[in-house]
Every structure is written in C-alpha cells, then in structure tokens.
Amino acid sequence: MPTPIEMASNLIFESSRIVVFTGAGISTESGIPDFRSPGGIWSKYDPSDFTFQRFLSSETAREKYWQMSTEFYNTVKSVKPNAAHLAVAELEKMGKLDCVITQNIDGLHQMAGCSAKRVIELHGTALAVSCLDCHKRYDRDLIQKRISDGDRVPRCDVCNGLLKPATISFGQTMPEKETAEAMHRSAQCDLFIVIGSSLVVQPAASMPLIAKEKGAKLVIINRDDTPYDHLADVRIHDSAGAVLPEILQRVRALS
C-alpha cells in the first residue's frame, strides 16, 4: 500500500495542469504568524477596528490601520520563502503548474521563483499601496518612508485621495478579476493541491470543491482538519515544508 507521500507524488507525476492553493499555513513556516494565531495581529488588535468602512470614515481609524499594517509589513520584509514555497516554484520549472491561488499577501511565492503571471492573489498584496480614488499604485517602501518621516495617514500625490495597502480588508469587495480567474482555473485543472489552508474563508474555500466536481484529483496538505478532507484523494497532516521537498524528490525520480 503506497504512503500518502507516494500517492501525492504519483498524482503530480501523472498531472499536467496543477493548481496550487495556499493559505496562511505555508507562510507561518517562514515566520509570519497567522493573523488569528497566538502572537498574530488579531491577538494584539481588534479586527472590528479595521473594517474597510471604518478606514473610509475615520482619520483616527486610518492612522490605527497604518500602524497595524506597518507592523505586519515589517515582519514580511524580514522573512524569506521556505522549502514549501520553493517546491511550488519547482512545479512551475517542471512545466506542471498552471497557477498558484493564494490567500496570502506576502509575495513569498514570487520571491521563491514563481512567475508573477501565475500567482493569483485573492486578498491582494502587502507589497504595494493603491489610491482608492485614482487607483495609482505605489511601491510599499516609498509609502513606508513617508510614514517613518511622520506622515501618519499618507495621501495620493496625484489626486490627494486616500492611500491604502493593496490588500483586501474586512468588508471590502473581493477583486472580481482575480476571483473569477481563480474559479476558472480551478475548474480547468487536473490536480488541485491545497497547502496550509483551513478552507473556511469563502469564496476561496469553494475552489477545491469546484475542481473536484470537474473531475480533478484533490490533495490536501495541512496540519489541521479541513471541511473537505473527506473529498481528498490524498490527505497529509504535516508541515508543508517537511513533506513537499520529499514529494518533489519522488516526482523527479519518476521522471
């Protein structure tokens, strides 16, 4: 009887259009705390203080938002991709990766070597800032420099509109283009691999179900149980950084 790692390796070897779906669990292994975990952002701040509506309506809320976001960004800037990110990038080098759909905002997939065009960021990116009015996009470091120089609530230098990290906040509409593209890719893949996601945040959590309904195989690699474990062809309760390199090594051997 093959082990789950052997089964996952065989499925990857046999597949040519793989969608990888990643959540906070892949980045915690790089040292980024899950927002909801002990030591995460929401153990220090009240999530209700950071809704999109509060950001729009209150200068005090905006200042607090930038304070919280700066703390998270400083963490992101100090970390590097881990073995799991590198393994996903290797799938692209093998010509097997259709895309990465990620709930993460840290840019670690691109840093690991995944092509930006193959990474669908459902919740945006912490590495950029956008004007909510004219939609001009800024490199995050430029805005952080302004904040460190005393500009507590930065505004757009073109239209004076509100600037906000290019991430999706509570109460903010999910990006239509990225969400539609992710659902389309999920429906077209032959293998859907979940890495480090609890699969409870919608609509993202429905994507493995879409893939499975269209005939794809489903692999779930997550430390904890998920609502879709019973649908998985392979379920691995372990650290992605520990098991993915071994899986990829077996795929190379099969090749």
Which residues carry out catalysis? 123
Which strands sit side by side in the sheet containing 234-236, from one edge to the other? 119-121, 97-102, 18-22, 191-195, 217-221, 234-236
Longest CA pairwise span in the chain (Å)? 64
Instruction: Quickly count: other Cβ atoms within 10 Å of residue 35's Cβ.
Output: 13
Instruction: Quickly count: other Cβ atoms within 10 Å of residue 20's Cβ.
Output: 30
101 forms bridges with which residues in the sheet?
21, 120
Write the single-letter amino acid at 157. Answer: D
CA of residue 214 relative to chain centroid, distance: 23
Place of tokens 């990829």: 248
- Whether 156 and 163 have beta carbons less than 8 Å apart is answered as yes
Structure tokens that stand for 48 in this block:
């209700």
Of 8, 32, 25, 3, nearest in space to 195 by CA: 25
